[in-house]
Amino acid sequence: MAMPTFHLAPDLPPVSRLCFGTMTMGEQSGPPESLRLLDAAFDAGVNFFDSAEMYPVPQRRETHGRSEELVGRWLRARRVPRDSVVLATKVAGPSGQMTWIRGGPAALDSRNITEAIDSSLCRLGVDYIDLYQIHWPDRYVPMFGETDYDPSRQYAYVPMEEQLEALGKGIDAGKNSYNLMCRNFDAGLSECCHQERINLLAYSPMAMGILSGKYHSPDDNGPPDARMNLFKGRYSEGESRYNLQNPKLESAVKEYKRISAKYDISPAMLAIAFVLRHPLVGSAVFGATKLWQLDEVLQSTKIHLCEEIVVEINDVHARFPNPCP
């Protein structure tokens, strides 16, 4: 299957519209399953792979860095030409909780960024990274379900100039959560991206799997090996944003499931196709722990959402706007 592409930068190969996110690899997916998934995605035309120094999630000392290590292991085992893939990874911002990552990490200063880059290069087994991202800012911002800015929570942070100097030459790309449950991008940042000619690298297009509908089935709360069940109580970042007990979230999911059934499209394919139709989305970062899930995501690139479907989607959004900000 030919995978649609876009150009991230002039000196990089065309980038697939789907980007395989690896944050479950090394925890929810073991090495054999992870390597099979990477193989299948690459064979299907996906050449964009995303990781982070803190992955896999839920993050813990024992598994720190495994996702990058598995990507590197796959590159060597498959003998993938380095210039045929685009590798993205991230530096963890100030946390105070992940003491195994540079003591917290305490700050995103020049030393921390440089050390993080060198460590990621070592785990990936490559000599350059195509897209390097700050995972979250070195300053207080509302995150993980928060919507209001609280000035009293601000703290002294590393100047942006120092961070940019450490990161080196910037890459003309953007990053934000964008899915049927969180369309905040459209409210203002989209204009900025358009004016600055920046594509959106949309993460969590499936809202951590919630948009598949598996957590809101009539009979149960979804399969026990689903992420929100398997790591219940251990993944505070995800649970704070994607609260399965939120009535607004549940109502929205039911409505999107109704639309998908009406037009004979799986809920997952509807969710991915919606994100990919956005004119400013360059690529969507997805995750999969099973081959059938990967196949479903890949098939979504063939889906065209007609105007009638989009009208119904927007009606649901108007009634239940952004239940997972």
**How many angstroms separate the CA atoms of 110 and 264, rounded?**
52
Residue 140 lies in a domain: yes
First to last CA, the chain: 34
HSE-up of residue 33 (Cα within 13 Å, Cβ side): 16
Q: Does residue 5 carry a pLDDT above 70?
A: no
Tens of pLDDT, residue by residue over 130-152, are 888 888 887 777 666 677 877 88
Least confident interval from 181-185, 219-223, 228-232: 219-223
**How many angstroms separate the CA atoms of 243 and 106, rounded?**
29
Percent of residues, the chain, with pLDDT higher than 90? 57
Residue 226 lies in a domain: no
Q: Does residue 1 carry a pLDDT above 50?
A: no
How many domains are there within the chain? 1
- Name the residues annotated as catalytic: 55
- pTM comes to 0.87
Residue 306 lies in a domain: no
Residue 199 lies in a domain: no
Q: Can you give the residue range of the structural domain that contains 92?
A: 12-171
- Residue 64: CATH number of its domain: 3.20.20.100
Residue 175's pLDDT is 37
DSSP H helices, the chain, are 31-43, 66-78, 110-124, 160-167, 189-195, 227-230, 236-241, 247-262, 267-276, 291-299, 307-319
Residue 281's pLDDT is 95
**How many angstroms separate the CA atoms of 205 and 126, rounded?**
28
Tens of pLDDT, residue by residue over 167-192, are 763 333 333 778 999 998 898 789 98
Residue 51 lies in a domain: yes
Residue 168's pLDDT is 67
